[in-house]
Structures are given as structure tokens and as C-alpha cells.
Structure 1
């Protein structure tokens, strides 16, 4: 049986500013941040107070709902500040970094000589567990669960995102060790998806079920790959993990250190230096990209699913891309006229972009319209490569009709699977936000 996954429905959005495959070492940030907001449905309980001295790997806080799930300091230094928002919600934990890191020694381990519980305990104690997320619900995995499978997507198809093979080119040994460890966490298969036709060392990784994926975005989304390989049914759990996080886990076993280093692609038409930078999780944005003009949108992540951050903000825990595009402060007069402006990549033929399939565009954040009624146009279905009805599911999510949400496939989707729906639908509804709220309702009502 072929392991190929061929996606036909979707849309590739070609933007200017792809990161050059050149690596620079970003300056060491004075301050690093762990943001509890990066871990959806985690309520943090602080272990340390302001002023405490920490080593890289020391536990900073744990999850209120599972005290085994711990979140560790990415660097050594002083816990400088706990920033809170409304109702004293913790927004950021700021660590003032030492000149050099002092690491907690968790000890070198051989996954082949460890059982499932020993591997889980090692990941939990070191703070590596939050790298593992679960479907359904797209939240940090519960260590008490046993997943039916584990999925790793080594393919990014979203606009301007980092090239996975380039991210891991010097981390092959750590990646294989990470695979050896996490594959023991399931009695099922560990699935690894790569781009079809690529002559990559990833195709030779041992201990995985390999899938060759082709097609437009969102072919690289792990949810799409799960849907076409081993769909999630009611009561089942599937764990997913990003390939660079597999390498961090492998490095933990090989060195005994929680060393959360990343290669980050700085990309976009407004990027002063579109290339890759070696950074640590939680690094300060300004130390990576420098100071940028006020009319530039800084996005931690890709342009479809990332988070807007300030120039003095911090890199997201799961992000390997920083996107810089213009703010949408300008409005096009008579922009509704067909063929008036052809500098926008569009799925419809109201612009001439369909005549230039390989052209790269400079886009801004302008929505080009306000939210309006949902109408049946077929746009959503053209970019949804799953056997679900996106418009009907969105309507039931807005109504919070649990039974119909279940029937329409809520367990199979995550907000990122609706990113293209956000982009192409003329109703301008915030589809990702609607799906996220619906998943939260399902967690509370169904569990």
C-alpha cells in the first residue's frame, strides 16, 4: 500500500521575502520570556518567586490541571518579573539571562534501555513534555493518556515558513534519538511526513512510518495528514510534535541538558535581513530582527496562524518563523472593481494573479472589507482538503451545538486547519477563533 498523501484542494500563497538559507547567530538576549498564553488551556501555578536564581531546565511553573506537566527555564539567570493581566492572569514570566548558561544535569539516557513510564518521567521532569500536543483539541498532551499514534510533519507549506530539512541539517543524531524515545510512548505507529520527491536524509529515519506528501497548502498541516492516514474518532487521542522539538528531546537524552535552541527563519517583504538565526526559545524579538518601523507588522509564526507581537516582544514557544509584512493602513479606492489592482494573490479571478502562478507578492494586513453574513459560495470547500463541510461546521460552532459539531468533524480539526478559510472567505469571519472557542467548549462539556 502506498504511503503517499496527495492533496488537491488548497492554495499556495507566494509572498516576497523568503528567508535565505544562511545562518547567523543572533545576539544573546538580555531577557527571555515564557508565555503561558502559548500553552492553550494551561493555567500556570508558579513554583518560583521574583528574584529567584534559575538554571536552564529549572521548573518555573506547572499546569494547575496536571502538576506533572512542568515548564522549564530556557536560560539561566534571575526571574526578573511575572507580568500579569486582567484578573491577575499570568501573561509572561521574564528571566534576566546570565552571560553564559548553567544547565540542570538531567543525566544522559538511552531510550532503548528505558520503558514508557521512565521516558515519560524524564520528559516531564526536564520540561520537554509541553512540546507534545494532542489531537483533538490542540492542547498540551495529558501524560496519563496513551495515544493511538504519534504524527510528525517535516513539511511546511504555509507562506514564508522555515524549511524543515534546513532546520535539522546539523541535528540528525538528536532527531533520531528523539524518534527512538517518543516512539515508545505509543503502542501504535509513529508517522513522519516529508515532501514527496525530496532527496532528504529524513527519508532514512528509522522507527517511523514514512509518508510522502504533495500538494498545495495546507498539505503540511499535521491535521490534514492525520485525516488522510488515521482519522480521529470519538474517544481517541493522537499526539503530534514538531520535528525541531523532536531534536530538542533527542538532545536531552544525548546530553542530559534541556537546551531549547532553534533556527528561526526571519522572512517577509519588510525583513531587513531575510535569513535564518540561531536563537533560544523565548528570545527577545528586537535582538533577532533589530528595531523595525512602526508601520511593520511583526508576527511570531507564519502570516496565516502566527501571533502579532511588539518589537520588544518575545518569540513564541512553538514558532520557528518570524514574519514581517506592512500594516494594512492604506485603503484602495474602488477596490471592489475587478482587475483594478493586481498585486494581491487571490483565489478568485477578480485579480489577474491567476495569470502569474509563480509571481511573489508583497501583501499587507488589510482585510479588504468588513465582516458580513455567511453566504454559500463554495470558497471554503476549495481550500479544505478534508472530508468535512467547513461552513456548516463553523455555523454549528457559533451556535455551540455539540452533537452537530461532533457529526461534522470537530474532533479532527485545529484552528490552523481553518487558516486558509480565513484568507479566502468573503464573509471575513474569524474562522480560526471560532474553531478555537468551539474546541474549548468541547473540552469542558465532553472532555
Structure 2
């Protein structure tokens, strides 16, 4: 039965630089990359190609020796121009110089009736071989799902509440058939339900509202209402020993296209956002695109932070860096490499802050769009217990005590306090408002890894 969940805790970060609601043309992206660092839990990647090899979209590039069945494949066709490694020969990137016309590896097409009659194992085999499987993420731990497991349920968030979040109506316009096919496949992978969370305060894409076979629940309130972890918590929480899977709408559509067309289709619409872009808009590209053509000549200054993803959970990349595997947004903001004398003490209407003592004047104009930079306005200091974390965590979890348990390596306390329900994005607001300037997301990941490998 569908639910309407009204969330009161959280904080909307209203930034300048929203993408105009139209798809623009930019110079053609020439290179694309797959980065093993995008895949949490990948321990021993095995490279299957070498420099100079020719690949098609869907050609396997690597796999993790821990889970050999799952292939990571080329998003485009072309030539492998670099297998980049770092310290101790750690694999960093596999770069591909794309063809002008994309060629695809061929996989079996399945009709709706075929999907219903096919065995679960056959569907999984096609998904792991073709490269769409990494779109499935396991909770707890936030790692790629293991094909050998069967989840209790599968969850999809149908909206994004992060700062400068893309409009899903633009990202997934015209993808109704692929989304429905993806849902049909996901239903075969679990004996439980497929849940789809929608924004109660906006209009959802037609692909989501007309879907069959998924239970739709609606959520209202500030960020992080769009986080799938928050939605799981309020619909069907995870208990110790249980496994659920999550997948983004893009992942559902990519799965659907695999069975409809018999190809690995990595095309996507991405949002170019941020106050430092001259033209903030949407554009068509492929997974793992180099961002150079999007930012070159399109920025207002040189001292910038380019982020693959959003300002809360995204990753810093170079002007010639590559988009993350799971990202559908690029954000460009000013770099904050300056010092401000007593800046943390001075109330200001120009500063966006959750704490009224600092940003008290900003609360008088909640609709104002703010230009923020990367300056933390202070340095890391002893862990201050202020009670603020609980105000932005719309879950029945005590984050302050959880973070203290992680610091203490207290396994039992971490489990009791709900660490199995969380991944980094669920505590990103805690990091944003933390007066102690701690790296809360990294702290949570350290706790998760303690439990994963214990």
C-alpha cells in the first residue's frame, strides 16, 4: 500500500547556478573513462584490455577478482588509449578515444513475455555479462550487489533533492518503455517488492507515474528526502542480516534498453550546474565523459572547483577529468583557498549556514540563491556535541552517538545505532553543518569497512 511520508528534518541548500531547462549542444567529447575508484568495495580489479586495443560499447574492460562474474564494460566504441595506474600500480582509469559513430556489442533481446518466462539466472547472466549489473547497489555497505544474493526488496528514488539537482523530467524524457522494461526485469530478481519513491511536491516524469509493477510512495520535505536510504528507512527499514538493493532511474533505464535493444547503451543527459558556469544547461553525452569540452571557455574565472556530482557528495576532478560512473551532474563553484579573519564569528546575509548564529540574516530570505565556495570557514577541531546532526537526519538514528562509536571502533554500538542503514550521502548534511569540520562521510565509510571486513 502506498504511503505519503512528510519529513520535517533536513536542510535545503539553495545555490546559484541551476541548469536552464533545455538541452544544449557542446563540442563533441573525444575521450571517456571507466574509473575503478568509483566502485566501493572493489579490491582486486583485473584489466582485460591493453593500450591500442579496439573496443565496442559493451566490450569488457575489467572485472573484480572477488566477483568475477560482474563485467565492467566500455561505454563507447573506440581505441583504448591509456590504462592509467597510480602508486603501487593501483588502477585509476581506462581511457577510450571514442569513434565518431558508436558501435555496440550484441546481446540477446527479450520481449516482455520472454522476461516473465526466463529464469532468474538467465536474466542475471545477461546483466552481468553486458555491464549493466554495477548499477545495482547493495544495502548495507553501499557496494555493488552480489549476483549470488537475493534481496529482500529493491528500491528506486525517483527524484533528487541535492543542491542544484537535475530535473528528472529532462534527464529521462521519452524513456517510458525502457523504464517499464527495467522494472519488469527487477521484479524477477527479488521475491519482495520493487519500491519507487516520488516527490510529493512536484510533478514526476511520465515514465515513473505510469509504471506498473512497482509500489509508489511519495515523500515531501527538505533534503535529504530524495535519498534512497531515507526512503528505505521510512518504508521498509533494513535489519541486521538483511540485504536490499538500490538502483537509480538511469540504471533501471539502462537495464531496460539492454533487453529491448540487445545493447549496452551508456548514453545519458547530464546537467551542467554551478555559479561559475557561463552556460548552465543540460547536454547529451555518454557515461564517463571527459568534462573538458563542457567547461573550456564556459567558466567565469580560473580559480575553480570542478565537481563530478553535487557539492555535498561529489568528487573533485581536474578540468580534463572524467565524470563519475554514477553521476548525472557537473558542478562548478569558486575555490575557497583564502583566509578570513574571524570569518566564522561574523553574522552575514551573504553566508549560507544552517546555524542561525552565523547565517541568521540568511533565514530572512530563504528563497535567495547563494554563491558558495569550498572554504570551510574554520579548521578541524575536537568533536563538538551540539545536537545539530539530529536536526538534519530524518531517520530514527542518533548520529552523534554513532559517530562516536565509529571513533571508538565499537562494533556492537555501531550496529545498535543503525550503521547498516547508512551510506555517505545519508550523512552528507551532517558534514556540511558540522561545527567541528570533521570529514563525516569518510568517518562513516571507515566504520562500514570495519564491519565489512570483520
TM-score category (smaller protein): over 0.9
* Equivalent position to 1:357, from 366, 369, 394: 366
* Equivalent position to 1:420, from 422, 429, 439: 429
Residue 430 (str. 1) matches residue 436 (str. 2): no
- Counterpart CA distance in 2 for 1:218 and 1:84 is 36
Alignment correspondent of 2:107: 106
Alignment correspondent of 2:375: 366
* Equivalent position to 2:352, from 335, 340, 345: 345
* Equivalent position to 1:324, from 329, 332, 335: 332
Residue 166 (str. 1) matches residue 141 (str. 2): no
- Counterpart CA distance in 1 for 2:101 and 2:295 is 22
Residue 40 (str. 1) matches residue 40 (str. 2): yes
Residue 290 (str. 1) matches residue 291 (str. 2): no
TM-score in terms of structure 1 length: 0.97
- Counterpart CA distance in 1 for 2:417 and 2:342 is 38
Following superposition of structure 1 onto structure 2, how do residues 16-415 of structure 1 map, counting pairs within 5 Å? 16-42=16-42, 43-110=44-111, 111-200=115-204, 201=206, 202-291=208-297, 292=299, 293-339=301-347, 341-350=348-357, 351=359, 352-415=361-424
* SS, match of residue 5 in structure 1: strand
Deviation per residue, 1:157-201 (Å, 9 max, x gap): 110011122211121111111111112111000000111043432
TM-score in terms of structure 2 length: 0.95
* SS, match of residue 351 in structure 2: coil
Change (3 A) 1:27 1:114: farther
Question: How many pairs were matched up?
Answer: 444
Any conservation in 2 of the 1:26–1:279 contact (CA below 8 Å)?
A: no
More deviation, 74-83/139-148: 74-83
Shift of 1:6: 1.4
* SS, match of residue 333 in structure 1: coil
Structure 1 residue runs without a partner (length 5+): none
Deviation per residue, 1:131-167 (Å, 9 max, x gap): 1111000010000000000000011111001112221
Any conservation in 2 of the 1:154–1:165 contact (CA below 8 Å)?
A: no
* SS, match of residue 415 in structure 2: helix
Shift of 1:27: 3.2
Shift of 1:41: 1.2
Any conservation in 2 of the 1:25–1:279 contact (CA below 8 Å)?
A: no
Shift of 1:329: 2.2
Shift of 1:2: 5.1
Shift of 1:233: 0.7
- Counterpart CA distance in 2 for 1:214 and 1:155 is 11
- Counterpart CA distance in 1 for 2:25 and 2:138 is 32
